[in-house]
Amino acid sequence: MDFDYAKDSKEQRPYEYYLKTYQEIDPKEISERTGFFYDEEKKVFTVVFMGSTYEISFPDYKISHKEDEKGVYPLEEAMNAKIFMVRYLSEKAKAPSSGKFLTYREVPWGEVYFRQFQGRCLMRLAFSYGNKLEAFKKVMTAMGAKPLEQGDCAFELEFMEGFFIRLILWEGDDEFPPSSQILFSDNFAVTFAAEDLAVAGDICINMMKAVERKLS
C-alpha cells in the first residue's frame, strides 16, 4: 500500500533514538505503563491502532498486522506511524479521558503551532473531503469510526486504545470553501505534545486516503 507521507531522511535519526530507548526498557514496565498486553512467551505486544490489531516484537520492534477488512496497515508501513508508536512505548503512558474533547488551540503550545497544524491537517482534511462527503462517510465507516451529529458530516475514530479523534466537515458552496475541525480526547493533551497531535492527524488523513484508494 502506498502511503503519501513524506519520506524525509530526518525521520531516521529520531526513529533510531527511540528504537534504542525501547530496546533498553523492561517490556513488563512498558506493558504496565501503556496498558498493552505483552506475551512473554512470544515476546510481542498486542496493539490496536486505528481499528487494526498488530503484534510488535520486543526487543527488535518488528511489526505485523492481523488481516482485516480495511487492508491498510500504516503502523507496519508508514515511518511517521512507526516513530509515533515506538516513542509511545519508550516514554509515554496511557491516561484516562474525562470524555471532553479539545481543539488543537486548547492543548499546551497548540496556539503556537496552530498555523502548521491548520495547513498540515485542517486544510488538508477540508479540501480532501469537504466536497466529497459520501466518500468521507464510506472511508470512515470502513475504518470503524462512529458517526456524530456535528457539522455537515462528522465521525469519531479511536486512534489508539483509549485515545479518540473527532473529524468534522462543513461542505463548501459557491460562496465559502469547505472547512473542517479536528478534536482530540483530552487525554491526548496529558500524554502527548502539540507536535505529536499534528502527527496523529497526519497519520489519520494518510490512512483515510489509502483506504479511499482501496475502496475505489
Task: Answer yes or no: is 4 within a domain.
Answer: no
Whether 53 and 15 map to the same domain: the answer is yes
How many other CB atoms are found less than 10 A from the CB of residue 31?
A: 18
Q: Which residues pair with 147 in a beta bridge?
A: 155
Task: Answer yes or no: is 131 within a domain.
Answer: yes
Domain boundary among 56, 72, 91: 91
Instruction: Answer yes or no: is pLDDT of 196 > 50.
Output: yes
Instruction: Answer yes or no: is pLDDT of 14 > 70.
Output: yes
The larger pLDDT score, comparing residue 177 to residue 6, is at: 177
Q: What is the mean pLDDT of the chain?
A: 93
- Please state whether the predicted TM-score (pTM) of the whole model is above 0.75: yes
Task: Return the residue matching grid coordinates 526487543.
Answer: 59
pLDDT tens digits, one per residue of 72-118: 999 998 999 999 999 999 999 999 999 999 999 999 999 999 999 99
The larger pLDDT score, comparing residue 4 to residue 11, is at: 11
Whether 201 and 108 map to the same domain: the answer is yes
Name the nearest CA neighbour of 199 among 74, 95, 76. Answer: 74
DSSP 104-124: GGGSTTTTTTHHHHIIIIIHH
